[in-house]
Structure 1
Amino acid sequence: MAAAKKKTPAPPNSEQMNSRVWLFSLLLTLQYGVQPLISKRLTSREVIVTSSVLTCEIAKVICALIFMARDGSLKKVYREWTLVGALTASGLPAAIYALQNSLLQISYKNLDSLTFSMLNQTKIIFTALFTYLILRQKQSIQQIGALFLLIMAAVLLSFGEGSKKGTSSGSSDQILFSGIIPVLVASVLSGLASSLCQWASQVKKHSSYLMTVEMSIVGSLCLLASTSKSPDGEAIRKHGYFYGWTLTTWIPVMSNALGGILVGLVTSYAGGVKKGFVIVSALVVTAMLQFIFEGKPPSLYCLLALPLVASSISIYQKYPYRVKKKDA
């Protein structure tokens, strides 16, 4: 009598995949939208930034390992994991993101918030470009139009945010070389890193949870190395790691950690371009939540951006690129 074959779980169909994409995108939009409010309300000014960031990365690792154990992939990863594979899939994007964050910090200090926010939105275009170059993922004419609608919405939201803050002062050379160029390079790097993460998950079949673990470990090691000479490192040595922490501090930290896992899932299932839609949509959510909980009405720019965001998402989903016979 022949041995019974083990049943393998059937791969999810397109409807299940679309449901997952919408669920992860919705959760990430809500997390991005809520995060500024809960961070502002629940995190004390005395909390050392490095301690909260490092704790968030550790929480990401723990949560990702729990999810991997729950779906049964942890044993497989344990057997098949290699350092070379980890560095190839996650090491390069992690290093790129670290460089991008450094450039953004330099740029933010030398540009007014409006200019910074508008230039920072160009990462959506670079993500679409690198997705095409690396994954050959083409966009339809309608989708390209939807991307420009999204950028218009982001620019309007940037105007609304920038009108509340002052402008920076400095020479034109300083603004160009220490402000505009760094943020544009950071946008290019953001698009490249996002496309590499999508390539690792979709082509190399690298689990999004595993990438979260690997990138969080790399980021934590870089952060720990920086504490040897940074002001935050000195503050931790003087006051202690959890200086200024309360029980409520854990809420935004854990929310941010879950958001990091959702970013990996959205990039894995939907791609880096759709992550851009999530980020811009979250800005609208933040404005609406500020009105509900703090009584701050959304600006005119936000109200104008809302239909643009809704239209761009609808058009992008409704008119995907159709593969022609000769392309297939």
Structure 2
Amino acid sequence: MAATKHKAPARSLEKMNSRVWLFSLLLTLQYGAQPLISKRCTRREVIVTSSVLTCEIAKVVCALIFMARDGSLKKVYKEWTLVGALTASGLPAAIYALQNSLLQISYKNLDSLTFSMLNQTKIIFTALFTYLILRQKQSIQQIGALFLLILAAVLLSFGEGSKKGSSASNSDQILFNGIIPVMVASVLSGLASTLCQWASQVKKHSSYLMTVEMSIVGSLCLLASTFKSPDGEAIAKHGLFYGWTPMTWIPVMSNALGGILVGLVTSYAGGVKKGFVIVSALLVTALLQFIFEGKPPSLYCLVALPLVVSSISIYQKYPYRVKRKEL
């Protein structure tokens, strides 16, 4: 009997570890390939709001299917309240909706590796907001890692904004339609991540439920913003799916599944495994860009890449530890 009791927890732990590795692998591939998929499968004529809105709807459908499969949908339906949903997910959802729109703009104006590395600066703002809102401190090693990441971001911004041989208009397009949107999106990502962490600690929401609530609220905010925006006018004139092809659905569905995988990896494995995923995804992006675009990374990217990889690795490896007082 004792042997049987020991085998059951061992099997359960082994099954959970298998899930962690599967979710991590899938998220690594999705995160690393997303910039290339979006650039190659989304035409420039596609209205940004339409792709973001469709992605949010796809997230809701996928999350509901997964909740129905694991049996939690009925329980959530009985316990769910509008006030609780708005409190936990309202503000983060609105922030993420704006962030996604900015990222869609940056995809089209930066090369894939530069975009991925600049997007990693969100860890800086996540650390800042977790300290301001949750009072979570950083270790000396983590602070050093953040400085490395800032250095890489500055290097990339300077390099991509002032390439030799580029026209002034092209440089301005890279700066204002590529670098600035992704940096603002990183700030918003840090704030939204911290708010989600606060909500999960207080409200104990599951990752699937947070996905559904945030996607619905974010979609409503996005629809409200289209009434007086160029995207809204374009949708009214040409229709929601203007410029879409069957290939456009590939990055939309990939992004939707990636959003669900982020919640699952964080729920099952925590921040350390997520950091491993981010580092691995950067390498996947660099490899795929070389294979499919036929050009090696620029000198600025080659210098910044080890800085980004090192900073994220150090940040995850040396968390802040509270010193015990000696009696």
- TM-score band w.r.t. shorter chain: 0.7 to 0.9
* Distance in 2 of aligned mates of 1:185 and 1:138: 23
* Distance in 2 of aligned mates of 1:175 and 1:28: 28
Q: Note the alpha carbon deviations across 1:224-266, whole angstroms, 9 max, x for none.
A: 2233333333333333333332222211110111122233334
More displaced stretch, 213-222 vs 242-251: 242-251
Q: Cα distance, 1:50 vs. partner?
A: 2.1
Q: Cα distance, 1:168 vs. partner?
A: 10
Q: Structure 2 unaligned segments of length 5 or more: list them.
A: none
Is the 1:150–1:280 contact (alpha carbons within 8 Å) kept by the matching residues of 2? no
Q: TM-score, normalised by structure 1?
A: 0.74
Q: Note the alpha carbon deviations across 1:174-216, whole angstroms, 9 max, x for none.
A: 9999999999876554322211111222442111111111111
Is the 2:163–2:171 contact (alpha carbons within 8 Å) kept by the matching residues of 1? no
Q: Cα distance, 1:58 vs. partner?
A: 0.5
Q: Cα distance, 1:309 vs. partner?
A: 3.6
3-state SS in 2 of match to 1:8: helix
Q: Cα distance, 1:81 vs. partner?
A: 0.6
Q: 1:298 to 1:180 in 2, by over 3 A?
A: closer
Q: Cα distance, 1:221 vs. partner?
A: 1.0
Q: Cα distance, 1:289 vs. partner?
A: 1.1
Is the 2:121–2:153 contact (alpha carbons within 8 Å) kept by the matching residues of 1? no
Q: 1:173 to 1:326 in 2, by over 3 A?
A: farther
Is the 1:25–1:278 contact (alpha carbons within 8 Å) kept by the matching residues of 2? yes
* Distance in 2 of aligned mates of 1:139 and 1:225: 38
More displaced stretch, 38-47 vs 117-126: 117-126
Q: Note the alpha carbon deviations across 1:81-112, whole angstroms, 9 max, x for none.
A: 11111111100212334566789999999999
Is the 1:127–1:190 contact (alpha carbons within 8 Å) kept by the matching residues of 2? yes
More displaced stretch, 54-63 vs 172-181: 172-181
Q: Note the alpha carbon deviations across 1:3-50, whole angstroms, 9 max, x for none.
A: 99999999xx99987776665455334323211212222223333322
Q: Cα distance, 1:145 vs. partner?
A: 2.3
Is the 1:194–1:267 contact (alpha carbons within 8 Å) kept by the matching residues of 2? no
Corresponding residue number in structure 2 for 1:223: 222
Is the 1:201–1:268 contact (alpha carbons within 8 Å) kept by the matching residues of 2? no
Q: 1:201 to 1:95 in 2, by over 3 A?
A: same
Structure ranking higher in helix proportion: 2
Q: 1:26 to 1:201 in 2, by over 3 A?
A: farther
Q: Cα distance, 1:218 vs. partner?
A: 1.0
* Distance in 1 of aligned mates of 2:178 and 2:39: 26
Corresponding residue number in structure 2 for 1:234: 233
* Distance in 2 of aligned mates of 1:172 and 1:305: 20
Aligned-residue sequence identity (percent) comes to 90
* Distance in 2 of aligned mates of 1:302 and 1:171: 19
More displaced stretch, 19-28 vs 308-317: 19-28
* Distance in 1 of aligned mates of 2:258 and 2:210: 14
Q: 1:3 to 1:86 in 2, by over 3 A?
A: farther
Q: 1:315 to 1:176 in 2, by over 3 A?
A: closer
Is the 1:104–1:183 contact (alpha carbons within 8 Å) kept by the matching residues of 2? yes
Corresponding residue number in structure 2 for 1:82: 81
Q: Structure 1 unaligned segments of length 5 or more: list them.
A: none
Q: 1:118 to 1:56 in 2, by over 3 A?
A: closer
Q: Cα distance, 1:62 vs. partner?
A: 0.3
Q: 1:198 to 1:18 in 2, by over 3 A?
A: farther
* Distance in 2 of aligned mates of 1:47 and 1:181: 21
* Distance in 1 of aligned mates of 2:177 and 2:251: 31
Q: Note the alpha carbon deviations across 1:66-90, whole angstroms, 9 max, x for none.
A: 1111222211111111111111110
Q: 1:197 to 1:23 in 2, by over 3 A?
A: farther
